Amino acid sequence: MKIALLGYGRMGKEIEKIAISRGHEIVIRKDVDDTIDISLADVAIDFSIPDAAFKNISNCINNNVPVISGTTGWLDNYKDAVALCEEKKGAFIYASNYSVGVNIFFELNKQLAKMMATLEDYNISMEEIHHTKKLDAPSGTAITLAEGVIENSSKKNWELGAISSEENIPIVAKRIPDVPGTHTVWYNSEVDTIEIKHTAHNRKGFALGAVIAAEWILDKTGVFTMKDVLNIG
Nearest residue to ligand LZUJQKHR on Cβ basis: 181
Q: Does residue 125 sit in helix, strand or coil?
A: strand
CB atoms within 10 A of CB 44: 28
Percentage helix, strand, coil for the chain under 3-state DSSP, each rounded to 5: 40, 25, 35
Catalytic residue, candidates 2, 114, 134, 204: 134
- Interface with ligand LZUJQKHR, residue 69, by CB under 6 A: no
- Interface with ligand NDP, residue 33, by CB under 6 A: yes
- Interface with ligand LZUJQKHR, residue 140, by CB under 6 A: yes
Give the per-residue contact string, 165-184, with ligand LZUJQKHR (x = CB under 6 A; - = no).
Answer: ----------------x---
Which region holds residue 3: left if phi is over 0, alpha if psi is between -120 and 50, else beta?
A: beta
- Interface with ligand LZUJQKHR, residue 109, by CB under 6 A: no
Q: Which does 173 bind (CB under 5 to 8 A by kind): ligand LZUJQKHR, ligand NDP, none?
A: none
Compare residues 53 and 116 and give the one whose CB is closer to ligand LZUJQKHR.
53
The amino acid occupying position 63 is N
Q: Measured in whole angstroms, how far is the alpha carbon of residue 49 from the centre of its chain?
A: 13
Catalytic residue, candidates 130, 155, 183, 198: 130
Q: Let me know: does 15 contact 5? Beta carbons within 8 Å.
A: yes
Nearest-angstrom CA–CA distance, 52 and 71 = 9
Compare residues 7 and 90 and give the one whose CB is closer to ligand LZUJQKHR.
7
Within 72-91, the residues that bind ligand NDP by CB under 6 A are 72-73
Q: Let me know: does 149 contact 160? Beta carbons within 8 Å.
A: no
Q: Is 130 a catalytic residue?
A: yes
